Amino acid sequence: MKRFSREQLAARVARDIPEGAYVNLGIGLPTTVANHLPHDREIFLHSENGLLGMGPAPASGFEDPDLINAGKQPVTLLTGGAYFHHADSFAMMRGGHLDICVLGAFQVSVDGDLANWHTGAKDAIPAVGGAMDLAIGAKRVFVMMDHQTKSGASKIVERCSYPLTGVRCVNRIYTDLAVIDVTPEGLRVVEIVDGLAFDELQRLTGVPLTLAGADSAAGAGRRTVTLSER
């Protein structure tokens, strides 16, 4: 069985982001989706610290400490981009103005509950940032994560054991093994990596899955999401 690499996963998520979308990419793995956005689409990247129309990292030596992203890394502003204060920035997020946000996760439940901010460990210092605002605010919430933990447990679960970030908020899960939609009827597999049978995916996942049509990575890969889809 081949798994999606991190790069392939980022490219796969990028393919589902349409022209004209207002998008927030979470810190960490989701940030790498930006490197794969097609150049022929105008897509507006939002960063919660207060910019819209975020561009790539500057060339070495051109960093500006006043121009950073939510991960506090130096970035650039595209022509036509804008700066704004925090209440406006979070109004964009909480007010339902973002079309898509992409977040990492520890766990996602069959109902679309998300756990991604805290392991619950007693000695851990909790930090939440804007994760809860993105989870409930964006029109569509994409999660990208490994399908399993390092010990082989499924990260898609019946009920999250980690503290929740948001309730019933995830729309689509991208893992190194599959692309799965969270629907009112349950988890629906829309794509599986080459060489992995549905039954085997089901066994590795541990919660009930259904197969959408007769999909394979080759066939379903061409499917794209439109903004009107919810």
Partner 1 sequence: MIDKTVPSLSAAVADVHDGATVMIGGFGTAGMPSELIDALIAQGARDLTIVNNNAGNGEVGLAALLKARRVRKIICSFPRQTDSYVFDALFHAGEIELELVPQGNLAERIRAAGAGIGAFFTPTAYGTPLAEGKETRLIDGRGYVLEYPIAADFALIKADKGDRWGNLVYRKTARNFGPIMASAAKCAIAQVREIVALGALDPEVIVTPGIFVQRVVAVDVATQRAQPQAAA
Do residues 63 and 74 make contact, with C-beta atoms less than 8 angstroms apart? yes
Nearer to partner 1, 96 or 213 (CB): 96
Nearer to partner 1, 49 or 148 (CB): 49
What per-residue string of b and e applies to 62-87 under the rule 16 or more CB within 10 Å gives b? eeeeebbbbeeeebbbbeeeeeeeee
* Least spacing, CB of residue 111 vs partner 1, in Å: 11
User: 35 is written with which tokens?
Assistant: 């490197």
| Cα 21 from Cα 99, distance rounded (Å) | 6
Nearer to partner 1, 65 or 152 (CB): 65
* Least spacing, CB of residue 161 vs partner 1, in Å: 13
Choose the catalytic residue: 48, 185, 191, 229. 48
* Least spacing, CB of residue 20 vs partner 1, in Å: 24
Torsion of CA 145, 24, 135, 219, to 10 degrees: -50
In the three-class reduction of DSSP (H, G, I as helix; E, B as strand; rest coil), residue 204 is classed as: helix
* Least spacing, CB of residue 196 vs partner 1, in Å: 33
Residue 130's identity, in one-letter code, is G
| Cα 66 from Cα 123, distance rounded (Å) | 33
Q: Where does this chain bind partner 1 (CB under 8 A)?
A: 47-51, 64-68, 71-74, 77, 83-87, 89-90, 93-94, 113, 118, 123-133, 136-137, 163-167
CB hemisphere CA count around 79 (13 angstroms): 0
Nearer to partner 1, 182 or 204 (CB): 182
Taken as a whole, the chain contains a residue count of 230
48: annotated active-site residue: yes
* Least spacing, CB of residue 123 vs partner 1, in Å: 7
Nearer to partner 1, 72 or 230 (CB): 72
| Cα 196 from Cα 194, distance rounded (Å) | 6
Catalytic residue positions? Answer: 48
